[in-house]
Amino acid sequence: MIDDKASPAPASAGSLPIARLRLLAQVLRHPCAILLFAQLAGLLLYPFLENRAGGNTLVGAFGVLVLVLAVRMVRRASGRWWFASAVALLALVLGALADFAHLSFLLPWSAACEAFFYFYAAYKLVGYMLADRRATTDELYAAGATFTLLAWAFAYVFMVCQWALPHSFSAAANADAPRTWTELLFLSFVLLSSTGIGDVTPLVPFARALACLEIFVGVMYLALIVSRLIGLTLIERDR
């Protein structure tokens, strides 16, 4: 049984603002929930930002927020938060130099640093979840946050692949153009969840190898988390 002691009782219409405040307070008590909601908000914001004037700056600013939240989670998960902070800071500096100093050759290095950081953060969150002896609400948020971290990490890997091997990916629209960040993130979610509904296609052998690797990681992650949550639920029920 999932432990959720902070769940508020049903509120009447007059106490609706109080109920909302309680819900907000409950979310703020779970850093994994904040990270997850920030990532999901990014999914909705990126398509409106990346093609506008100053859009890259806004996307970068939002990325800073996500990186700060992820660093906080790494620190909470007893990871080497100073190491994670250094990698995140390096990614931000390289990205800022690429945007403001027009040093585009730094973009793949920034993407590589971000991919490494997100993989590290996901690894620490998996360790955090496996250390729990009970299926708590925070663990559910952590499961969702880890999934989004892995999706972001592979999207940055695809960006590096596209820079190193031009025309690595194609799509139904503008097949010969480089794929945008939103398109690569969409591909990453499709592969990680194994839904197979995407129109972005890896073309070169190495890009396809990366796609196979992400599918494998996604299947193993879902199997690990689902089996663990079921096992913890059965243990709680038998007590």
Joined tokens for residue 37: 């909601």
For residue 18, tell me if it sits in a domain. no
For residue 13, tell me if it sits in a domain. no
pLDDT at 1: 45
**Greatest pairwise CA separation for the chain in angstroms:** 61
Q: What angle do CA 81, 110, 119 make, to 5 degrees?
A: 45
Joined tokens for residue 210: 């990366």
Residue 196 has what DSSP assignment? -
For residue 162, tell me if it sits in a domain. yes
Q: What is the pLDDT of residues 74-111, one digit of tens each?
A: 666 665 677 777 887 888 888 778 777 778 888 899 88
pTM beyond 0.75: yes
Name the domain count of the chain.
1
Q: Let me know: does 215 contact 181? Beta carbons within 8 Å.
A: no
For residue 63, tell me if it sits in a domain. yes
The answer on pLDDT for 229 being more than 80 is no
Q: By C-alpha distance, which of 49, 73, 174, 61 is closest to 125?
A: 73
Q: What is the pLDDT of residues 115-171, one digit of tens each?
A: 998 898 888 888 877 777 776 777 788 888 899 999 999 999 999 999 999 999 999
Q: What is the pLDDT of residues 10-23, one digit of tens each?
A: 444 445 566 655 65
pLDDT at 49: 74
pLDDT at 202: 95
For residue 176, tell me if it sits in a domain. yes
For residue 6, tell me if it sits in a domain. no
For residue 97, tell me if it sits in a domain. yes
pLDDT at 27: 54
**86-90, 183-187, 214-218: range with lowest mean pLDDT:** 86-90
CB neighbour list of residue 162: distance below 8 Å, 6 or more residues apart: 168, 169, 178, 179, 184, 207
Q: Let me know: does 136 contact 2? Beta carbons within 8 Å.
A: yes
Which whole number is the average pLDDT over 36-40?
A: 84
Task: Give the range of the structural domain holding residue 51, as residue numbers without chain letter.
Answer: 28-238
For residue 5, tell me if it sits in a domain. no
Instruction: Give the integer Cα–Cα distance in Å for 164 and 136.
Output: 42
